[in-house]
Chain A
């Protein structure tokens, strides 16, 4: 019994407050863009001395109840496509298992530095491609002045919706069309693989729903919460079977993140859809730099480049974590600001209506 407790850190008021705040900010962002608030939690816990695997497991165990509450909230606003979320979630589960399997093999062959390098490179490549695309799209909408126009499905999405493969067609309300599950399965699988690798499947899941399937941004980000719930529940159970979940950490983060996710979900009702893409793109691109800084560290640990001095490694590590935290804070700031402006506009409109209504 002693050895189990030895894996779990001591919690004091400082630790608890820190986790609560990080949880809140992460929840706020997740409630808004469907996921993406959790990637900072694993390194945040590790900075308190929590071993890597326990940090990953505890993070996941706070993610699924958080996603559940967020999904319920956003379903009230009519933004959730439960069927699409579950269909993607099940294939994502397979992706998680496969992703974890790859991770284990890399760890076996190349050690911790090898697996860290793989994670960082995956981060950099995927975030550069997908994040760059999402951000460019949001920026184009913003610049064109068409922010009030309804989002149009991409050519790719129109093509996907036009393909009819008998026996595999399912109607999804978010797309208002029937599409073949042969398209959703690989997307879900990729979402799961990414979740197992960098802890945020939504960075593939949400853009895939928007650009490949043709879902509106608001529905895609809300539906991702259902996918995250399905994926997180299975993942947490797997980790819990090995006794890796530190329930105290998970529940303390949950305490903060439930405040955040409710607020983020409310925020989506005040903003134009392109803001979802904007926040997501900005976070993805900033995080990309955070991980890119770590690549030389792992390369040197593997002996592929000249060995770096300890102080250099320390500086790179600290800067990388700071950039990651900054990405999340900027995301949270944009969400709060957009919400604040939306509420003010709403109040002014309401006041105007009252004036007008007076006889």
Chain B
């Protein structure tokens, strides 16, 4: 929108957002398409407890990066720190 005005604004991470977005959609697609198989392993308990924990980390890595970029690309960013006298 105001690309000409905000000269000091960093380039928006559109490429990274798309890449992370596609990866998280793929993760969710696998999760939902293979839910029966996934449930049968993940619900076993015991040592299989590592499966949901690892899954949570993997999803949060990719989806977390995607959602972060998503807001940046939309222009919703943190307030810039001002020099305090």
Listed in ascending order, the chain A residues whose CB lies under 8 Å from chain B are: 1, 4-5, 7-8, 11, 61-62, 64-66, 68-69, 72-73, 76-77, 233, 236-237, 240-248, 250-252, 254-255, 258-259, 262-263, 265-266, 269-270, 342-343, 346, 354
Contacts and interface: CB of A to CB of B under 8 A. Distances in A.
B43 A266 contact: no
B59 A251 contact: yes
A169 B37 CA distance: 51
Given A69-B68, A236-B53, A244-B45, 19 more contacts: A4-B39, A4-B44, A68-B60, A240-B53, A241-B46, A242-B45, A245-B43, A247-B38, A247-B39, A247-B42, A247-B55, A248-B31, A248-B35, A248-B38, A251-B59, A258-B63, A259-B71, A262-B68, A263-B71
B83 interface: no
23 contacts: A4-B43, A7-B43, A8-B39, A8-B43, A11-B32, A64-B56, A65-B57, A69-B64, A240-B49, A240-B50, A243-B42, A243-B44, A245-B42, A247-B31, A247-B42, A248-B39, A254-B60, A258-B63, A258-B67, A262-B71, A263-B71, A266-B78, A343-B79
A240 B57 CA distance: 14
A4 B35 CA distance: 12
B32 A248 contact: yes
A261 to B, nearest CB: 8
Nearest to A351: B5
A270 B38 CA distance: 42
Q: Please provide the 3 A-B residue pairs with the shortest distance between their CB atoms, ordered closest to farther.
A: A243-B45, A65-B60, A240-B49
Interface residues of B, number: 36
Contacts of B71: 259, 262-263, 266
Among A5, A73, A255, A354, chain B packs the most CB atoms within 10 A around the CB of A255
Contacts of A252: 28
B40 interface: yes
B1 interface: no
B76 A266 contact: yes
Nearest to A345: B79
Contact of B40 (A5, A76, A258, A342): A5
Contact of B77 (A240, A248, A266): A266
Nearest to A232: B56
B52 A269 contact: no
A63 to B, nearest CB: 10
